[in-house]
């Protein structure tokens, strides 16, 4: 009788496997076990460790080392060549004969059977939730989950290599920096390397990569990601990840800032971004953010923060009020300070400390110009602009300013 029960169990499992295979073909669903060798080949390996004997969830067993073609994703048999092996294990279960633990590799949240595939298949057919196993854990930078097919794993391989190369799994394990297009991980690398160069220049020594990556994540990525979330853009573009949006918007900011600094049209930034990311979804993102003013406000806030940090103006001159209303103008102020520092150095025939040059520029160049702007009432001719805007305009348009002053004098004489 036990022989018949075990044989019937196999036939029932095999028929269910056949229908699952047919449905998978009709619907295009992935019904295959994950091949361990392919997963190991595609994903970066960071080491392994023996976890000893454990009780593991049967439904988290999603792959096999050598039998991945003999069973489907539900561990139903897909062939009859090893039917007697399956039936023999089923009979042992009916007789309550103890079976040895299986051997399995753990990768992320899932398991791959090294030895004991038929034991797993019988266990699942009997609706057994857990099974004893000797487990070896394979360490990789990403987490595999039970709902992933091989195509999902392959899509993650570039992200896994990115995490391994940058060390983010160790320095910021909570970071989710996945992109929907693997081609652009190189651009994320460029962002980190550019930040590393910048803070190395600022500190006067080469900053270690891990420290630079942490700094980039904390001071560059996270603030912009928070601003993107505040604008509800992830909800508006569910096909893009948060890091997709960070990459698009951070580079768009840079392109717009460059256009403003060159007194060019911001429309050029649109075309350049579309030249890099020639995707329909990117056009939609651009169309959405251009209808809002937060991008320019964000650029302005970042530029002002950079200017204040670079010059330490509020430490040197606490009363200073330097506020531009247009993006791209703080860079011009920094250039003015550099020029002033150069001429001071020429005059003294000595290198002038940057902080001293900033204070001298403020006292002898910027403040007198602001006082003149007040005395002449020039700000009235520039509605919705600040004193700093007018100062920058005056330096860029000296001849036009002289003409405006002459006009004011002639009007006052009349």
- Comparing CA positions, the residue from 329, 333, 409 lying closest to residue 377 is 409
Q: pTM for the complete prediction? A: 0.70
Spans of all domains in the chain:
2-151, 167-292, 325-413
Cα–Cα distance measured from residue 62 to residue 56, given in angstroms and rounded to the nearest whole number? 12
pLDDT at 301: 84
User: Was domain 2-151 assigned CATH 3.90.1530.10?
Assistant: yes
Cα–Cα distances in Å, from 226 out to 126, 191, 229, 234? Answer: 48, 18, 5, 11
pLDDT at 395: 77
pLDDT at 410: 59
Q: Which residues of the chain have pLDDT under 50?
A: none
Cα–Cα distances in Å, from 362 out to 75, 325, 367, 370, 372? Answer: 75, 19, 6, 10, 14
Residues 6+ apart with CB under 8 A from 16: 74, 76
Say which DSSP state 53 is in.
E
> Mind listing the pLDDT tens digit for each residue in 191-237?
999 999 989 988 889 999 999 999 999 999 999 999 899 888 899 89
- Comparing CA positions, the residue from 58, 57, 56, 67 lying closest to residue 33 is 67
pLDDT at 413: 54
> Mind listing the pLDDT tens digit for each residue in 249-270?
888 888 877 777 666 556 777 7
Cα–Cα distance measured from residue 410 to residue 152, given in angstroms and rounded to the nearest whole number? 75
């Amino acid at each position: 009788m036990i022989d018949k029960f075990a044989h019937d169990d196999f036939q029932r499992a095999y028929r269910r496997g056949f229908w699952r295979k047919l449905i998978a073909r009709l619907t295009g669903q992935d019904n295959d076990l994950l091949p361990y060798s392919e997963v190991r080949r595609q994903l970066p390996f960071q080491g392994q460790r023996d976890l000893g004997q454990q009780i593991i969830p049967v439904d988290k067993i999603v792959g096999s080392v050598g039998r991945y073609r003999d069973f489907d994703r539900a561990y139903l048999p897909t062939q009859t060549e090893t039917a007697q092996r399956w039936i023999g294990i089923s009979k042992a279960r009916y007789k309550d004969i103890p079976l040895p633990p299986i051997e399995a590799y753990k990768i992320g949240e899932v398991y791959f059977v090294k030895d004991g595939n038929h034991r797993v298949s019988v266990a699942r057919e009997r609706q057994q939730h857990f099974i004893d196993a000797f487990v070896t854990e394979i360490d990789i930078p990403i987490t595999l989950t039970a709902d992933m097919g091989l195509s999902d794993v392959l899509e993650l391989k570039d992200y896994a290599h990115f995490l391994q190369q940058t060390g983010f799994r160790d320095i910021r394990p909570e970071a989710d920096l996945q992109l929907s297009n693997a081609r652009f991980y190189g651009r994320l690398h460029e962002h980190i390397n550019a930040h590393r160069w910048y803070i190395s220049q600022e500190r006067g020594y080469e900053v270690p990569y891990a420290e630079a990556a942490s700094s980039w994540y904390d001071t560059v990525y996270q603030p912009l990601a928070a601003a993107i979330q505040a604008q509800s853009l992830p909800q508006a573009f569910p096909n893009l990840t948060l890091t997709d949006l960070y990459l698009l918007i951070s580079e768009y900011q840079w392109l717009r800032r460059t256009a403003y600094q060159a007194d060019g049209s911001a429309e050029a930034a649109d075309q350049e971004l579309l030249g890099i990311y020639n995707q329909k979804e990117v056009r939609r993102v651009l169309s959405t953010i251009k209808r809002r003013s937060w991008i320019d406000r964000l650029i302005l806030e970042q530029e002002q923060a950079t200017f204040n940090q670079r010059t330490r103006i509020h430490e040197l001159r606490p009363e200073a009020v330097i506020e531009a209303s247009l993006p791209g103008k703080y860079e011009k102020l920094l250039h003015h300070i550099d020029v002033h520092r150069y001429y001071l150095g020429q005059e003294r025939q000595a290198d002038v400390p940057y902080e001293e040059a900033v204070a001298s520029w403020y006292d002898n160049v910027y403040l007198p110009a602001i006082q003149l702007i007040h005395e002449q009432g020039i700000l009235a001719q520039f509605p919705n602009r600040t004193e700093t805007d007018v100062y920058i305009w005056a330096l860029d348009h000296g001849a036009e300013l002289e003409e405006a002053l002459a006009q004011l004098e002639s009007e006052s004489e009349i």
